[in-house]
Amino acid sequence: MKLQLSTRARADLALTLLALAALLAWDAGGWDLTVMRQFGNDAGFAWRDTWWASRVLHDGGRWAAWALLLVLAWTAARAPQAGGAPVTGPTGAERWRWIAAMGVCVLVVPALKRYSGTSCPWDLSEFGGVAAYVSHWDISASDGGPGHCFPSGHAVAAFAFFGMYFMWREHDPRRARVWLAAVGVAGLVFGGGQLLRGAHFPSHTLWSAWLCWTISAAAAHLPRTRRWRAHPA
């Protein structure tokens, strides 16, 4: 049986694979340490405990994400359902479907982080900690630190909302592009704050973005049940 992909599915797959190749090239080049050395030294990271990075970007970003999720749930509860009056935007069922997809992102990435043996940059001996740098792909080796730092769980507070791009591109491409840009910028800001604090390598944030994108893209192309029509037959 030959698998047939739509033009949009092929484009999403190509972009996902291209991003994967770029991430693997980043890891192979060892750029994580190169970047972190610009912001930390054997005394640690100067911005680790700054108010704007630890409170505003980290704690504030998390609360902002939960608030936005509540707004989206409220909107989904009030949205019209298929089968009634004509619906110009996403139906309530569509909105809940994408909220569920975002929930998968929120569960998957922290679960991977929980079982990861990779320690954070501020745990490395090079930056005042005790761990040695070990690639997060070398699962057979221990870095001697506390681990549980890969991928970035905090970045998911932004990247989980990639689902809004996929939802809206079927109804309003312009709004979809706005969502895509906003989510990308927010994710990079959250990730940048964690980078400056020494809490995560750049790749930790980028892998979180890729995972959330891949989960959302997969959800966009899952088979769907046919919409109910107002015809009893």
Helix axes 202-220, 173-197, angle to 10 degrees: 150
- Is pLDDT at 103 greater than 60 in this prediction? yes
Instruction: Please say if the pLDDT value at position 227 is more than 70.
Output: no
How much is the pLDDT for 228?
34
Q: How confident is the model at residue 83 (pLDDT cuts 50, 70, 90)?
A: low
Q: How many residues does the chain have?
A: 233
Task: Find the domain containing 178 and state its range.
Answer: 51-81+88-116+151-220
Residue 89: which pLDDT band, with cuts at 50, 70 and 90?
confident
Among the listed residues 209, 190, 31, the one whose alpha carbon sits nearest the alpha carbon of residue 121: 31
178 part of a folded domain? yes
Instruction: Please give the share of the chain, as a percent, with pLDDT higher than 70.
Output: 91
Q: How confident is the model at residue 216 (pLDDT cuts 50, 70, 90)?
A: very high
The residue-averaged pLDDT of 50-72 equals: 92
Between the ranges 36-45, 47-56, 133-142, where is the mean pLDDT highest?
36-45
pLDDT number for residue 140? 82
**Distance from the Cα of residue 27 to its chain's centroid:** 18
Distance (Å, rounded) from C-alpha 194 to C-alpha 146? 17
For 163-168, the CB contacts below 8 A with 24+ separation are 163/98, 163/99, 163/101, 163/102, 163/105, 163/216, 163/219, 164/72, 164/98, 165/216, 166/98, 166/216, 166/217, 166/219, 166/220, 167/90, 167/94, 167/95, 167/98, 168/90
Calculate the average pLDDT of the chain: 90
Q: Kindly report, residue by residue over 152-169, the tens digit of the pLDDT.
A: 999 999 999 999 999 999
**In the block, which residue shows the tokens 């979809």?**
176
Burial of 145: CB neighbours in 10 Å, binned 0-12, 13-18, 19+: buried
Q: Measured between alpha carbons, how far is residue 192 from residues 28, 64, 101, 200, 207 in Å?
A: 21, 17, 25, 9, 14
User: What is the structure's pLDDT at 6?
Assistant: 84
Name residue, tokens 């990308």: 184
Task: Dig out the tokens for 48 from the structure.
Answer: 């680790």
**Which of 83, 115, 79, 74 lies closest to 94 in space, CA to CA?**
79
Mean pLDDT of 98-119: 95
How far apart are alpha carbons 90 and 92 in whole angstroms?
Answer: 7
Total structural domains in the chain? Answer: 1
User: Does residue 38 sit within a domain?
Assistant: no
pLDDT single digits (tens) 174-208: 999 999 999 999 999 999 999 999 999 999 999 99
Q: Which token pair is 1?
A: 């049986």
* pLDDT greater than 60 at residue 231: no
Q: Identify the residue whose tokens are 């405990």.
A: 49
42 belongs to a structural domain: no
- pLDDT, tens digit, 9 for 90 and up, residues 196-205: 999 999 999 9
Calculate mean pLDDT across residues 135-139. Answer: 86
Higher-scoring residue by pLDDT: 219, 232: 219
CB-count exposure of residue 35 (10 Å: 0-12, 13-18, 19+): middle
Query: Is residue 44 in some structural domain?
Result: no
Q: Is residue 181 part of a domain?
A: yes
Report the amino acid identity of residue 122.
Answer: W
Model pTM? 0.90
Can you tell me the distance from the alpha carbon of 201 to that of 147, in angstroms, rounded to the nearest whole number? 13
- For residue 190, is it within any domain? yes
Give a yes or no: residue 104 inside a domain. yes
In a domain, 74, yes or no: yes
